[in-house]
Amino acid sequence: MAKDIIDLPVIGRAGTLQTVDEAARRFEVLWTTGAQVRRYSWMRDEEFDEELVVSTDAMRLDRLNAGAPFLNSHGSWSLRDILGVVEEDSIRIGGNSAFARIRMSERDDVEDIWRDIKAGIIRNVSVGYRVHKFERVGSTERTDGGARALYRAVDWEPLEISAVAIGADPGAGMRSDSGPKTARSNRCTIITRAEPAAPAATDQKGNDMANGTDTVGEDEHRTAPPAQTRTADPTSQAATPAPVSAPVAPDADAIRTEERARVSTIMTICARHGLGADISGDLIARGVSLDDARAAVLDALASSDSAGRTAEPAPAQARGDGASDAAYRNAVTESLLHRASPGTSSITDGAREFRGLSLMELARHSLERSGLRTGGMSKMELAGAALGQRGFHTTSDFLAILANVAGKTLRDAYALTPRTFAAWARRATITDFKPVSRTQLGGAPDLQKVLESGEFQYGTIGEGKEVYALATYGRIIAITRQVLINDDLDAFTRIPAAFGASAADLESDIVYSILMQNPDMGDGTALFHADHGNLGTASVVSEKALAAAYRAFGQQKGIEDRLISILPRFILVPPGSRSLEARKQVTATTPSSTADVNTFSGRLEVIEEPRLIPTTGQDPWFLAADPARIDTVEFAYLDGQEGVFTETRMGFEVDGIEIKARYDFAAKAIDHRGLYKNAGAATA
């Protein structure tokens, strides 16, 4: 009895889907019947039969019983290929049949497959397995009437179960149309009972079992028992000549020469057309014939499909019209924003085709859409082309997409950051960066009694003036090639969002610094000063202190020294004891006596602002009038540039692009009469 050892790849066999438990998302499958399958060996020009021994002694069931994956068509490129799991210890053997129980995943992207399984539309499953030992029975030794040599798998190991489109084995109801695409070969022992010059078994396409390749068709898998111990040649040729009537010993030298010519020709063709080593390597490893390789190269060139992309949509060629280009950029931008924050960014049908793609995949898609071939580019070259660096003449939309994502997240964060001053301060716009004068208008002059036949006298309106100018603020965010390669979406979302929030915080810092720093006004006197009648005696927020503040407002006079009618509307306090004191004073209650009435309930709005916490001393509190009644603090933006804006340029200091965030802002106290300060005191 002879014994050979060869390298054997993963093999596929098919089965049928059985009962379905919809509530538990489970179903049972018959994943093998062990039936004989007819095979063909190109190495020996010989047909043979393969048979799986279905028994616990012949089958290594540890992987399946431990929870092997349930895959989509034997896919193993991504975790998204996993549709479910083989439930632990659910394998049972009955006669020559093996059964398993599958539990489906609850992911959204699995639901359409689960619906088709429940409806009976998808009913074929397939098992991927390795054979560790074949027992070969010569055609003259067979007792079952078979006319070919029989290879019986007496030691084999199922690895996974898959849902597949096409069934093959009539005995089981379905077979796999391919094995797992990334599986490696394993060592297999072949015990030969007779015919020591046994042929090396192959699949029906002629792929030698020892070649380590893994592409099979319907009712195909690889078994390759050779006559002697040898190591796999990963580039074994896959061409299938017509079988001859009797086995003929192969010419090893001729086979090696032919294989070297095939490999060299495929590499030359791919290099000539700018296709990457991954494409040529795939064609060589799968044993594709020269004619099929040429056809594959033509298909790759025609579709501009890039190597290594499995989940990408086919590139849509740019049509050159602004509407379609804008729609494309908006869709990709939307998909990235949804990926970064699915809870706050919705996704439309137009953006769904880009959902889940990495930054590099989107970069390749955008480049190919613009007409640039990316086959053969390294990751660094691809990232450089996507970022429009020198040497790559491209009109890719990718730069605009990245700028859109960064700009939108920055502006959204800016808009969502709270700015409490907007309630009590006055907003304005300025047309340029020149100093502007804000005039304080006094009240109208007193009306004088006009006697009969008397003349009306002219009066004048006094005025004061405050001057300020816009200032520009900004920062640059650098996006490098490494960010794309690492798929670091945070660089386009969270970092710009932090800058946007920082811009909004800066506005609050500027406005509230006016209250805390107490700058001089145009008349040379500090904003809060006894001469301005708006500085109270240090006190907690109490009924007595508020009454004094209301009296101070009532005593304010206009420029022409005449009383004006203004009252406070907002009370500005820092968090803590001042906030509690203020809320108690303005909250409506149900008192048991007049002494318990909250006199100021409903008269003031409490605005709580952390920037009013001083570095030392007691917490102050402030009152502000309605800005529609009298000027208090004015904050301004450049006309047409309200908020944060972004600009993009090619990086010079960094190897990538630079996104500049800028905004123009200023704030100034305009009239002291609408503001009041109490320096605060320790809580009693």
pLDDT at 371 over 50: yes
User: Residue range 349-357: average pLDDT?
Assistant: 80
Query: What is the token pair recorded at 50?
Result: 């393969």
- Per-residue pLDDT averaged across 531-536, rounded? 94
Q: Which two tokens stand for residue 299?
A: 């298909």
Predicted local distance difference test score (pLDDT) of residue 570:
95
CA distances (Å), 539 to each of 543, 544, 545, 595, 683, in order? 11, 9, 7, 21, 8
Predicted local distance difference test score (pLDDT) of residue 363 = 81
If you compute the radius of gyration of the chain from its CA atoms, what whole number of angstroms results?
40
Give 3-state DSSP helix, strand, coil % of the chain, rounded to 5. Answer: 30, 25, 45
Dihedral sign, CA of 494, 495, 498, 500? negative
Segment of 39-53, 113-127, 467-481, 524-538 carrying the highest mean pLDDT: 524-538
For the cut 60, the answer to whether the pLDDT of residue 256 exceeds it is: yes
Measured CA to CA, the distance from residue 597 to residue 591 in angstroms comes to 6
* Cα–Cα distance measured from residue 88 to residue 520, given in angstroms and rounded to the nearest whole number: 78
Percent of the chain with pLDDT over 70: 72
Residue spans of alpha helices (H) in 453-557 = 481-485, 494-517, 543-554
CA 63 from chain center: how many Å?
Answer: 33
Neighbours of 617 (CB within 10 A): 9
Query: Cα dihedral sign for 101, 106, 109, 112?
Result: positive
| Distance between CA atoms of residues 367 and 388, nearest Å | 10
The answer to whether 634 touches 645, Cβ cutoff 8 Å, is no
Per-residue pLDDT at 182 exceeds 50: no
- Tally helices (H) and strands (E) across the chain: 14, 24
Cα–Cα dist 103/86, whole Å: 6
pLDDT tens per residue, range 213-222:
333 333 333 3
Q: Are 410 and 499 in contact (CB under 8 A)?
A: yes
pLDDT band per the 50, 70, 90 thresholds, residue 63? confident
In angstroms, the CA 368 to CA 305 distance is 8
pLDDT in the model for residue 232:
39
Name the band, by pLDDT with cuts 50, 70 and 90, for residue 393: very low
CA neighbours closer than 13 Å in the CB half-sphere of residue 359: 28
Question: In terms of Cα–Cα distance, which of 5, 3, 8, 2 is closest to 236?
Answer: 8
Residue 40 has pLDDT above 80, yes or no: no
Does the structure show a pLDDT above 50 at 236? Answer: no
123-154 pLDDT, tens digit each: 888 888 888 888 888 888 888 778 888 888 88
User: If pLDDT is split at 50, 70 and 90, which confidence band does 386 have?
Assistant: confident
Tens digits of residue pLDDT in 278-323: 677 777 777 778 877 777 777 776 654 333 333 333 344 444 455 6
The dihedrals phi and psi of 17, each to the nearest 5 degrees, come to -80, 135
Q: Comparing C-alpha atoms, which of 58, 43, 39, 77 is closest to residue 129?
A: 58
- pLDDT band, very low/low/confident/very high, at 389 (cuts 50, 70, 90): low
What is the C-alpha to C-alpha distance for residues 141 and 192, in angstroms, rounded to an integer?
A: 11
Across all residues in the chain, what is the average pLDDT?
Answer: 75
Identify the pLDDT of residue 456: 72
Query: Mean pLDDT: which of 163-172, 376-385, 504-513 is highest?
Result: 504-513
Query: How many Cα atoms within 13 Å fall on the side-chain side of residue 390?
Result: 3
> Pick the residue with more confidence: 280 or 442?
280
Averaged pLDDT, 625-650: 84
Question: By the 8 A CB rule, do 625 and 569 touch?
Answer: yes
Comparing C-alpha atoms, which of 339, 332, 390, 342 is closest to residue 364?
A: 332
The confidence band for 204, taking pLDDT boundaries of 50, 70 and 90, is: very low
Residue 263 dihedral angles phi and psi, to the nearest 5° = -60, -45
Q: If residue 646 lies in a helix (H) or strand (E), which one and from where to where?
A: strand 645-650
Question: Phi then psi for 273, rounded to 5 degrees?
Answer: -100, 15
Please give the average per-residue pLDDT across 500-514, as a whole number.
92
Looking at the chain, the whole-number percentage of residues with pLDDT higher than 90 is: 19
Q: Is the pLDDT of residue 611 over 80?
A: yes
Confidence band for 183, pLDDT divided at 50, 70 and 90: very low
Question: Does residue 419 have a pLDDT over 70?
Answer: yes
